[in-house]
């Protein structure tokens, strides 16, 4: 399956800079300035998570830090360390219902149009086999997204 590159601060700044509804003077508000603001925002999110604060991303969802402790005495060598089982942290992530519904709607439309997955997240071969078996997609369907490995280069 194709490797999907993550959305970096630089790529997000480029998208914001090129938006049609960007009403700011492009001579004063550069992509570099937008990138710096996004990096500051990400740094503040990181600091908030380290402090145990919940982060709400408008129209996306939330990131919730949790602290965990191993319960009981396990007989698994990987769980029982020589120094004991220290507490650890974990992040819970939730997307909001509107985003989830929109993504599911786009996925259903893509399947109807012969695109098997989201634009940059195709179904795996195993998922394709399951969908064929259950009748969601035709038996002769092929996932054409698998060759797009080197497509998304950093600019």
Min mean pLDDT across 59-63, 109-113, 151-155 is at 151-155
Q: How far apart are CA 115 and CA 119, in angstroms?
A: 8
Checking if the pLDDT of 153 tops 70, the result is no
Give 59: exposed, middle or buried? Use CB within 10 Å, 0-12, 13-18, 19+: exposed
Q: How many domains does the chain have?
A: 3
Q: Is residue 153 part of a domain?
A: no
Both tokens assigned to 17: 């800079």
Percent of the chain with pLDDT over 90: 57
Task: Name the pTM for this structure.
Answer: 0.69
Q: Is residue 116 part of a domain?
A: yes
SS3 state of residue 93: strand
Min mean pLDDT across 10-14, 36-40, 85-89, 125-129 is at 85-89
Instruction: Report the 10 Å Cβ neighbour count for 120.
Output: 13
Q: What is the dihedral of CA 128, 132, 137, 140, to 10 degrees?
A: 90
SS3 state of residue 109: helix
Q: Is residue 79 part of a domain?
A: yes
With residues binned 3-state (H G I as helix, E B as strand, rest as coil), the percentages for the chain, rounded to 5, are 40, 15, 45
Helix or strand run (H / E) with residue 46: helix 31-51
Q: Is residue 37 part of a domain?
A: yes
Q: What is the pLDDT of residue 79?
A: 59
Q: What is the pLDDT of residue 47?
A: 96
- Domain hosting residue 134, numbered range: 96-144
Helix or strand run (H / E) with residue 70: none
- Are both 140 and 100 inside the same structural domain? yes
Looking at 38, 53, 68, the residue that finishes a domain is 53
Give 79: exposed, middle or buried? Use CB within 10 Å, 0-12, 13-18, 19+: exposed
- The predicted model gives 103-118 an average pLDDT of 93
Judge whether 151 and 28 are in contact, CB under 8 Å: no
Q: Which residues lie closer than 8 Å to 42 by C-beta, 6 or more apart?
A: 9
- Are both 44 and 58 inside the same structural domain? no
- What integer best gives the mean pLDDT of the chain? 84
Q: For 32-77, what is each residue's pLDDT tens digit?
A: 999 999 999 999 999 999 999 999 998 899 999 999 887 765 555 5
- Are both 112 and 80 inside the same structural domain? no
- The predicted model gives 19-28 an average pLDDT of 88
């Amino acid at each position: 399956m194709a490797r999907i590159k993550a959305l970096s601060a630089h790529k997000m700044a480029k998208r914001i800079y090129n938006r049609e509804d960007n009403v700011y003077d492009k001579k004063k508000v550069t992509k570099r300035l937008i990138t710096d603001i996004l990096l500051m925002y990400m740094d503040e999110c990181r600091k908030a998570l380290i402090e145990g604060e919940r982060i709400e991303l408008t129209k996306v969802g939330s990131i919730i830090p949790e602290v965990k402790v191993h319960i009981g005495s396990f007989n698994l060598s990987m769980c029982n360390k020589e120094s004991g089982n220290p507490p650890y942290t974990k992040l819970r992530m939730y997307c909001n219902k509107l985003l989830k519904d929109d993504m599911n709607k786009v996925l259903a439309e893509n399947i109807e149009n012969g695109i098997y997955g989201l634009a940059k997240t195709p179904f795996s071969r195993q998922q394709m086999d399951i969908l064929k078996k259950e009748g969601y997609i035709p038996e002769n369907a092929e996932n054409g997204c698998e060759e797009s490995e080197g497509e998304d280069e950093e600019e």
